[in-house]
Amino acid sequence: MHKPILATICLAICALSACKKDENMVIGDENQTLVFGSFFGECEGEKCVEVYLVDSQMKRLAENTTDAYPRSSAPVNGSFTELSAAQYEQVKDLPALFPSELLTEQTNVIGAPDAADQGGYYVEVTRGGVRRHWLIDTDKKSIPAYLRPFVDSLSVRLKRLP
């Protein structure tokens, strides 16, 4: 009688482990390309809007050279110029750090980005052919707790780039 119970427990453990592994693989696979950056409205010069595309599959990083201020109504479009392999190495882990909880947000504006001239972060992913983007406040008190580690990662990586 103990063998069926033990077998059931083993199957349950295997099933739960398999689901977790598959979920992580799907998240990583879907985030092979991530567009990210920062923007400041009350700013002068080239560094006011910096948007990059990191492609894990192609192992490349590119910078958007149009420097258009991000809007909540549509994802950023532009012209991307490839950067060096060394610069790619500085940000290659960002797609894997993307918090899947962000996909459940009902709005694409998180907090009040750049409302008090503090700037904001731009994040974009494409899943199933659908582009989704978010404008995220730099004030961590104004964003959900799950998003704070990712915002910290963005801040560090953006400081490393040209």
The pLDDT tens digits of the residues spanning 36-50 come to 999 998 887 778 999
Average pLDDT for 6-19? 34
Average pLDDT for 54-72? 93
Task: Give the global pTM.
Answer: 0.79
In the chain, pLDDT over 70 holds for what percent of residues?
81
Average pLDDT for 56-70? 93
Quick one: pLDDT at residue 14? 35
Average pLDDT for 74-101? 94
For 89, the token pair is 């190495």
Average pLDDT for 72-100? 94
Mean pLDDT of the chain: 82
Quick one: pLDDT at residue 149? 97
Residues 6+ apart with CB under 8 A from 157: 36, 90, 91, 94
C-alpha 121/C-alpha 137 separation (Å) is: 6
Please give the distance of CA 42 from its chain centroid, rounded to a whole number.
24
Question: 14-28, 73-87, 97-111: which range is least confident on average?
Answer: 14-28
Top-confidence residue, 13 or 99: 99
CATH class of 32-160: alpha beta
C-alpha 90/C-alpha 83 separation (Å) is: 11
Top-confidence residue, 52 or 26: 52
Top-confidence residue, 106 or 13: 106
3-state helix/strand/coil string of the chain = CHHHHHHHHHHHHHHHHHHHHHHHHHHHHHCCEEEEEEECCCCCCHHHEEEEEEECCCCEEEEECCCCCCECCECCCCCEEECCHHHHHHHCCHHHHCCHHHHHCCCCEECCCCCCCCCEEEEEEEECCEEEEEEEECCHHHCCHHHHHHHHHHHHHHHHCC
